[in-house]
């Protein structure tokens, strides 16, 4: 399907992204995977010298190999532990600061290499303007410049109020809208759209790692999982769509999560084979905004 939205005669587009929920494996996470997967490797990882979730060098090297770039959405979660609210048991582990010197150095490496840094809005920020503005300001202070894009934690979205908050505090695009338990286009929205009838853009999420694997962390069913992804590629190509992909940093650890990195690489290779246009969220926003001006 011919689609003049995408540059250089590309028939469809791919938006690669990563939600950085945490940069360190916490004891809770190792215990959770041990109990659910019944494998001691998740407990052993707690005592490794190298943090299992700090996989940014591998992520950048993989994307550099294929000359593609992605958007990294960083989270500053402030939710405190509440024993009577199970959701906080996990959220209270997702803690790191944008002002951490190690994180700031990572920001520099990403941006100097052509990657984009965006905001991963905390769990309760989707309906809290003050909180979301504080998180945006904190990230921008560490970056030294404005942030363009966001994805809300756990895909929390209150339509259209969340978008109004995001736009009001100066964000240009969001990539939260999507299916929470399946892969594919929610309500057939194949293209980014403007939910507020202005320049603010929504880039729908299509493929998320945990929805592909669905709790199967054995790495034994990659071919079956890949066939599901190929069906999505066929649909994207047929409709000239935007194929948005989310892969969390913790899943680039082959010891704990065999097959996740391999499947992500296959997605990139297939996109290259089909001549898809790879772009960061910011590049997509600029491309579609320029198309709007020319129309």
pLDDT score at 34: 60
pLDDT score at 1: 44
User: Which regions of the chain are under pLDDT 50?
Assistant: 1-2
CB atoms inside a 10 Å sphere around CB 64: 13
Q: DSSP secondary-structure letter at 80?
A: P
Nearest-CA neighbor of 261 among 253, 273, 271?
253
Residue with token string 């905390």: 122
pLDDT score at 259: 93
Predicted model pTM: 0.91
CATH class of 13-294: alpha beta
Beta bridge partners of residue 243, listed in sequence order: 14
Question: What is the distance, to the nearest Å, from the Cα of residue 247 to the centroid of all Cα atoms in its chain?
Answer: 6
């Amino acid at each position: 399907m011919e689609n003049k939205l995408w540059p250089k005669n590309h028939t469809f587009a791919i938006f690669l992204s990563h939600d950085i929920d945490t940069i360190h494996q916490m004891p809770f996470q190792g215990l959770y995977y041990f109990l659910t997967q019944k494998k001691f490797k998740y407990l052993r990882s707690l005592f490794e010298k190298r943090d299992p979730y700090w996989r940014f060098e591998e992520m950048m090297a993989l994307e550099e190999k294929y000359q593609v770039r992605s958007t990294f959405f960083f989270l500053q979660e402030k939710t405190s532990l509440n024993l009577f609210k199970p959701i906080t048991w996990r959220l209270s582990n997702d803690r790191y600061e944008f002002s951490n010197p190690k994180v700031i150095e990572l920001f520099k490496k990403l941006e100097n290499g052509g990657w984009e840094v965006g905001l991963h809005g905390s769990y309760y920020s989707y309906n809290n303007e003050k909180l979301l503005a504080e998180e945006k300001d904190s990230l921008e202070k560490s970056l030294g410049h404005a942030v363009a894009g966001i994805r809300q934690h756990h895909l929390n979205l209150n339509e259209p109020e969340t978008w109004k908050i995001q736009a009001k505090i100066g964000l240009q695009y969001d990539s939260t809208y999507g299916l929470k338990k399946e892969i594919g286009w929610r309500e057939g929205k194949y293209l980014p759209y403007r939910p507020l009838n202005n320049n603010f853009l929504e880039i729908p999420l299509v493929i998320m790692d945990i929805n592909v694997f669905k709790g199967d962390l054995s790495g034994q069913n990659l071919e079956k999982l890949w066939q599901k992804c190929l069906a999505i590629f066929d649909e994207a190509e047929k409709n000239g769509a935007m194929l948005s992909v989310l892969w969390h940093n913790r899943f680039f650890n082959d010891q704990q999560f065999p097959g996740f990195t391999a499947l992500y690489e296959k997605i990139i290779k297939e996109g290259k084979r089909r001549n898809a246009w790879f772009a960061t969220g910011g590049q997509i926003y600029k491309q579609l905004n320029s198309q709007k001006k020319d129309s």
